[in-house]
Structure 1
Amino acid sequence: MFLPVTAGHDDRIVVLGAGPCGLACADALRQLGHRNWVVLEARDTVGGLASSVVDEEGFTWDLGGHVVFSHFGEFDRLLAELFSSDELLVHDRSSYVRFGNRWVPYPFQQHLGALPSLDALACLAGLAAVRLRGRADHQRAADDFESWLQAAYGTPMVERFFGPYNTKVWSVAPREMSAGWVAERVAPASLGGALATVLGLRRPHSTWGPNATFAFPTHGGTGEVWRRLAARLGDRVHTRARAVAIDAEERRVVLAGREVVDYDHLVTTMPLDQLVACTASAPDQVRRAAARLRHNTVAMVGLGYRAPTMDRRSWLYFPHADVPFYRATNFSKYAPANVPGGDTSAYCSWMTETSFPADQSFEPEALTRSCDEALRRHGLVPEQAPLASAHVEVIPYAYPVPTLARDQALAEITPWLEAHGIHSRGRFGTWRYEIGNMDHAVKMGIDIAHRLVTGAAEELVPTPHRDAAMVGSRS
């Protein structure tokens, strides 16, 4: 039984993680007038998964393919506060799927007319078959992602694109994943629209999805957003402050240097499995649930070339095994400042992403050579273009995998944490890829700050006992 404790507005709120969620939480606390808070970041830089680096040759790289778009007014307002209009470049998405020796516009399922004739007819027939059999209802009821894909698009499209691509991205077979996360992440396919594109009667539009138009900072990569936000928060954002133990009963965080930080409420964005592992009083049931969570690792190999930026496309998908990466981003197109001196007449840069199971090792030099060879072979850079830079960033926690066991595991973990004043948010704090974008993270951070200070309900994360978590009380 947890007795209420009255602490007024002096309650100490500790935020673990200076990524988008943690920084947005702290900024909201500041704006709400709550003064007793601190942000502790394990790394020596802010930004988390959305940070950027500059390599020794002067190329800027993100930790993965990020673009700035939003579902939420809170994120839009934050961006407007941090950047003037001339400090953001706005792009219309131009994205393609590599299919054999062809480039098929994205989304694949809406551009079947770009496939070779036999493949286009097979995919159209497969789509027609599932529609005529009423498989749309089965799609809604599907438990696993592979069944959902089969019911949505038919076997030919799954075999040609969705199966191999998703296996590459997640490092997990779609049959091992839940279908509950899909939401807006996967584009629909209309039988009539597909037929019209295959027959050449209609040109499909490529404006599906929330990132059809996106923004990008003129300088500094995506990480510039979070550097600016951290700067306005001042000296209460502490880097190189890694939490190694949490005492949920005494409400204390122990840092790597053995410093102890007391809290009344803990907002944490660290990976949920790590959070449970370092919380000594977590019961066995919670630990077993956390052990069932799965994630993958991504290697970002950034390749800069002494060749002008000629390609006008944004990013490209590679579903098949002859290419190591699942996505290549035309990073010098995003912003000229991503190459040395901002000189895109002399340089281009491509950011590739290759995923691995979390427990699998790889050889960075061999992967770099393979990525370089694939970019040249598929015509993204000239065959003889000198390589000016090769930079590798390993992201140990890249995607939280929505496995079939995930939701049950979360149902056992999250209530226990909430009952002990531990509010786990962000991409890996919630372990929900479906709310794992930067704008989702900002929204979660702002919402938990308002919940703690005012008792307002959170919109993305269900918290049935929100009143007990308000500043000034413990449940």
Structure 2
Amino acid sequence: MHVKYLIIGAGPTGLGAGHRLRELGETSVLLLEKNAYTGGLAASFKDSAGFTWDLGGHVVFSHYAYFDRLIEDLLGDAYLEHQRIAMVRMLERWVPYPFQNNLRHLPREVQWEIVEAMLPGRRPEKQPANFREWMDVVFGAGIAKYFMVPYNFKVWATPAEMMAYHWIGERVSVVNLEMVLKNLILELDNKSWGPNNVFRFPLFGGTGEIFTRLGDRLGDMVRRNTEVVAVDAQAKVAETSQGERITYEYLLNTGPLDQFVLQSLNTPNGELREAAGRLAHNSVFVAGVGVDGMRDDPTCWMYFPEDNAPFYRVTNFHNYSPNNAAKPGASRALMCEISYSRHKKEDLSQLMESTVQGLVNTALMDEKDRDNILSRWSCELEYGYPVPTLERDPALRVLQPWLESRDIYSRGRFGGWQYEAANMDHSVMQGVEWAERMVLGNQETTYVVK
């Protein structure tokens, strides 16, 4: 079989590429998806108790008019819109997110410890060499101690000293000392920071409903249960797990870039293998706990920097849509995320029990709620987040030009390996922009190797 455009993976990036190619009149397109479903890391699953779970905390917000139109076309009016309410749990209290903008909710001695460390002359005045040094330079030792250091290790499962910081952009609300003092003295809250302060969510089916519909729309262009196991870059041939050989003119890989180079690509040279080996990622254990009964809690999601719970984030998934719960309006869906890696080992066999204990420790469940648990669902994601280490960009500068010189392109959360361009809208648009580059000669703007 021969196709002009072969796409590995039917997640947000692959589906975005396939959809845009078809819009542009291209018909020789094939998406090969190893799973029985489309959506990749944005898929959703219904458990045996009737709860719907995402693979982590996804919400629909956008930087792109094209993405907005696509979502509206796919969902119609079958979505809900929410004003973000996010909190940080620390020192046995809830602090509105972003934590650094709402210090007034902390004990007074902690407030002063944090503010004192932010005063002129107290923060290091140097160019930081890594993410850990950046925390002290930008936030001061107090915020670093109480939130930035412990929380980021819980998320990334990687020492901050090994990470770069130029990826941050709109991902982290940086400190404004004047605003911090004003909010403290006038007892004001500042909760609206960030691009996702208003977001949408499908009424039924979780985030995965978006990509189920998009995959169905592409029809026979998508072939499920078909894994690419080998790619001959010179001959432009891909081999599937069923033994089929497919020739192509252009190849888009949306799976993990390191696996593609080290496991699928035929005879990559030593420099290429070394670069692929420098790409780092964490893994994520997603634990869904369905609880009978409701609480008066409008919070969307919560962050947990302390060690009294294994998770770094919990989503009140029933607040995104009541249909995510087995008993809409009468049961809660608590979706918890725990990272692990060689730097942060976890006993996966015990994580569900420690998650439930953490929910009790952090006041999201009462002891009596243990008897009201309707569902314990979990999923282990070997690839959770691509970690922006100090070695990432030098590795990408080796990998991507070599691949593109052979008409192979790698995009998406793990295909491109850029966390800062890995939101849902970014991922779809990486595929869309790649398609426009191929057909129209347009320049890509979302994914750029620096």
Is TM > 0.5 for Structure 1 vs Structure 2? yes
Paired residue for 1:77, among 60, 69, 84?
A: 69
Deviation of the 1:205 alpha carbon: 2.2
Counterpart check, 1:337 vs 2:328: no
Identity rate, percent: 39
Paired residue for 1:159, among 116, 135, 145?
A: 145
Paired residue for 1:143, among 92, 111, 129?
A: 129
Deviation of the 1:204 alpha carbon: 2.6
1:10-51: CA deviation from partner (whole Å, max 9, x where unpaired): 961001111111001000000000110000011111100100
Alignment of 1:79-118 (within 5 A): 79-85=71-77, 87-118=78-109
| Cross-structure match for 1:244 | 229
Aligned-partner SS, 1:417: helix
Distance in 2 between residues matched to 1:102 and 1:93, nearest whole Å: 19
Paired residue for 1:292, among 278, 281, 288?
A: 278
| Cross-structure match for 1:409 | 395
Distance in 1 between residues matched to 2:317 and 2:83, nearest whole Å: 14
Aligned-partner SS, 1:264: strand
Q: How many residues matched?
A: 446
User: Bigger shift: 183-192 or 214-223?
Assistant: 183-192
Aligned-partner SS, 2:246: strand
Paired residue for 1:452, among 433, 438, 443?
A: 438
Counterpart check, 1:214 vs 2:199: yes
Indicate if the aligned counterparts of 2:9 and 2:34 stay in contact, CA closer than 8 A.
yes
Paired residue for 1:21, among 13, 21, 26?
A: 13
User: Bigger shift: 212-221 or 72-81?
Assistant: 72-81
Deviation of the 1:256 alpha carbon: 1.0
Distance in 2 between residues matched to 1:388 and 1:376, nearest whole Å: 16
Distance in 1 between residues matched to 2:156 and 2:356, nearest whole Å: 22
Distance in 1 between residues matched to 2:256 and 2:342, nearest whole Å: 13
Aligned-partner SS, 1:21: helix
Deviation of the 1:321 alpha carbon: 1.4
Distance in 1 between residues matched to 2:84 and 2:140, nearest whole Å: 27
1:407-444: CA deviation from partner (whole Å, max 9, x where unpaired): 10111111000001111000101110000101001111
Alignment of 1:274-423 (within 5 A): 274-277=259-262, 278-341=264-327, 343-345=328-330, 347-357=331-341, 362-385=346-369, 386-423=372-409
Distance in 2 between residues matched to 1:70 and 1:231, nearest whole Å: 23
Structure 2 residues not aligned, in runs of 5+: none
Deviation of the 1:134 alpha carbon: 8.2
Indicate if the aligned counterparts of 1:295 and 1:358 stay in contact, CA closer than 8 A.
no
Indicate if the aligned counterparts of 1:93 and 1:213 stay in contact, CA closer than 8 A.
yes
Indicate if the aligned counterparts of 1:165 and 1:319 stay in contact, CA closer than 8 A.
yes
Letter in 2 for 1:36: S
Aligned-partner SS, 1:301: strand
Deviation of the 1:143 alpha carbon: 3.0
Distance in 2 between residues matched to 1:337 and 1:62, nearest whole Å: 13
Q: TM-score w.r.t. structure 1 length?
A: 0.91
Deviation of the 1:175 alpha carbon: 1.0
Aligned-partner SS, 2:415: helix
Distance in 1 between residues matched to 2:351 and 2:373, nearest whole Å: 15
Distance in 1 between residues matched to 2:187 and 2:302, nearest whole Å: 23
Deviation of the 1:322 alpha carbon: 1.6
Distance in 1 between residues matched to 2:230 and 2:398, nearest whole Å: 21
Q: TM-score w.r.t. structure 2 length?
A: 0.96
Distance in 2 between residues matched to 1:456 and 1:178, nearest whole Å: 30
Indicate if the aligned counterparts of 1:246 and 1:254 stay in contact, CA closer than 8 A.
yes
Indicate if the aligned counterparts of 1:95 and 1:105 stay in contact, CA closer than 8 A.
yes
Deviation of the 1:359 alpha carbon: 8.5
Deviation of the 1:94 alpha carbon: 0.7
Distance in 1 between residues matched to 2:3 and 2:35, nearest whole Å: 26
Distance in 2 between residues matched to 1:64 and 1:24, nearest whole Å: 20
Distance in 2 between residues matched to 1:414 and 1:297, nearest whole Å: 24
Letter in 2 for 1:154: G
Deviation of the 1:133 alpha carbon: 6.3
Paired residue for 1:126, among 97, 103, 117?
A: 117
Paired residue for 2:30, among 34, 38, 60?
A: 38
Distance in 2 between residues matched to 1:388 and 1:150, nearest whole Å: 44
Letter in 2 for 1:215: R
Structure 1 residues not aligned, in runs of 5+: 1-9, 465-475
Deviation of the 1:151 alpha carbon: 0.7
Deviation of the 1:368 alpha carbon: 0.7
